[in-house]
Amino acid sequence: MELRQLEYLVAVAEEASFTRAAQRVHISQSGVSAQVRQLEQELGADLLDRGGRATTLTQAGEAALVHARAALAATAALRQAVGDVTGLLRGRLTVGMVTACTITALFDALDGFHRAHPGVTLTLIEGSAAELADQARAGALDLALTGAAGALPEGLDGFAIVSEGLVAAVPPSHPLAERASLALADVSALPLICMPPGAGIRVAFDQSCRALGITPVVALEASAAATIGDLAARGLGVAILSETMAAAFAGRLRAVPITDARTPALLALAWKPPPAPAAAELIRHCRRAFNVTRDK
């Protein structure tokens, strides 16, 4: 019994015609007929009723068709699996990243992966941290560079790229600018400029406030750190950012650590376990680009 015989049987069954089946598998009609006849002889039963205007399956053929399709599907899966692990990656990967993210290492990883595996189509989308986590859990994203608070999003594997505390970023002329550190109580009653709910930094800030029974006054919200920093530099409020984000505004803003904000803000690469072979290969590229060891 050969796989091509099963392929020809499936083609004849689905086309209800030896002529159309031959066109589909790109060999002569006599070749298809001979191979199916050989299969019938090996199985000891007629699989096709050739007497009518259309070729139909016999009862034995109906039973054989189920297993023929399963065998062909298993063979295709086998070839895909072997191809994946030997570098013959193909298909599509969808990667998500937090809105307005400009992490060069991610782009370096995508570039390196694309050069190594041009047969894989890469799609990159933006979204909030909460949206990306939901999409990764649902399988709509193969990989997400996302914000989180304290730990990876529930139900996902991954690793933290950055874990750091929160700061209050204010113009150099602001009364808080000369402070070495601040408490949440020092800033909670002031007009604040924050990421929207669901963003990793916002979740870290809200969790820290709740732990101390503090209700902050959020005056403005923006998804991009650049927007938050610009608004704060214009004196419209105190920006709540991570240390790394605030560093981009050195000279325009003074970043003062908030010492009792106990929940760290994370930037993490996350995925639904287990990753598919192509996704696993992209994760390896990301580990190299971010210089993250496997046990981190």
Domain 91-162+266-290 has CATH 3.40.190.10: yes
Percent of the chain clearing pLDDT 90 (strictly above): 74
Give exposure, 33-54, as e/b (b: 16+ Cβ within 10 Å).
bebbeebbeeeeeebbeeeeee
Check for a shared fold between 91-162+266-290 and 166-263. Answer: yes
Give me the residue label for tokens 């101390």. 212
Give me the residue label for tokens 């971010």. 290
For residue 81, is pLDDT > 80? no
What pLDDT was estimated at residue 142? 95
Cβ-based neighbour number of residue 293 at 10 Å: 7
Give me the residue label for tokens 């709509």. 140
**From CA 259, how far away is CA 236, in angstroms rounded?**
23
**From CA 194, how far away is CA 110, in angstroms rounded?**
30
CATH class held by domain 3-85: mainly alpha
296 pLDDT band (50/70/90 cuts)? very low
Domain 166-263 has CATH 3.40.630.30: no
DSSP 1: -
The domain spans of the chain are: 3-85, 91-162+266-290, 166-263
210-249 residue pLDDT tens: 999 999 999 999 988 999 999 999 999 999 999 989 999 9
What pLDDT was estimated at residue 88? 55
Higher pLDDT, 228 or 52: 228
Average pLDDT over residues 161-168: 94
Average pLDDT over residues 138-143: 94
**From CA 263, how far away is CA 151, in angstroms rounded?**
9
In 2-46, alpha helices (H)? 3-15, 18-25, 29-43
Average pLDDT over residues 161-184: 95
Which pTM value belongs to this model?
0.64
The tokens describing 277, both together, are 């072979």
Average pLDDT over residues 18-37: 91
- The phi, psi pair for 191, rounded to 5°, reads -65, 125
What pLDDT was estimated at residue 51? 84
